Amino acid sequence: MTRRTNALRYPEGTTKVGTAHVRESVRAPMTTAQRRIYEKTGVPPQTAAIDVDDPFDPSLITAPPAKKQSKYRNQKCESGGIKFDSKREMARWHELVQMQVRGEIAELELQVPFILAEPVVIAGRKRPALRYVADFVYEQNGATVVEDVKGRVTEGYRIKRHLMAARGITIKEVK
């Protein structure tokens, strides 16, 4: 059997030994709210000042995290119950609606999906169909126009544009 070691001795008033915290038997245990106030301010709260009916509000201690900016710095917006990926896309939608009212275009559609490649099985796993979703599709002078509002042409978009061209469909890019 092993022999027990002596109890750890430390000077009076020590609060930490290494990474361990020293408990003070004099102080009553703090509630979570009291502990957070203590961690924030460094001053132990008075127990009589804490009201039991008043729950602790963590928003007072931590500020809400800043909203992460989107990858392409676009701002999602909504108009007439329709959600758009950018303000530019929303402005173009309003232009096209006005053109349709004037009779310059017809059959205006929003967010039209095109299948570029059918679903396949690769290495025993089913892969979904490759799709391209056009921002707008409409008829102008008897021809179908596929339109995409682009701020920046990405590599993925270049591939999809190429596959659409292989199917005989040209995408009109609006900057």
Per the model's pLDDT, the better-predicted residue between 49 and 10 turns out to be: 10
Dist CA 40 CA 166 (whole Å):
62
For residue 127, the model assigns a pLDDT of 92
Whether residue 3 has pLDDT greater than 80 = no
pTM: 0.55
Condensed to tens digits (0 to 9), the pLDDT of residues 58-116 reads 555 566 677 777 766 677 778 788 888 888 888 888 999 999 999 999 999 988 999 88
Whether residue 49 has pLDDT greater than 50 = no
The whole-angstrom distance between residue 55's C-alpha and the CA centroid of its chain comes to 30
Condensed to tens digits (0 to 9), the pLDDT of residues 14-47 reads 778 778 877 665 556 678 888 888 888 887 776 5
Q: Residue 66 has which token pair?
A: 């800043």
DSSP-based three-state secondary structure for 147: strand
For residue 137, the model assigns a pLDDT of 92
Dist CA 124 CA 17 (whole Å):
57
Per the model's pLDDT, the better-predicted residue between 29 and 50 turns out to be: 29
Condensed to tens digits (0 to 9), the pLDDT of residues 105-155 reads 999 998 899 988 899 999 999 999 989 899 899 998 988 899 998 877 888
Per the model's pLDDT, the better-predicted residue between 51 and 162 turns out to be: 162
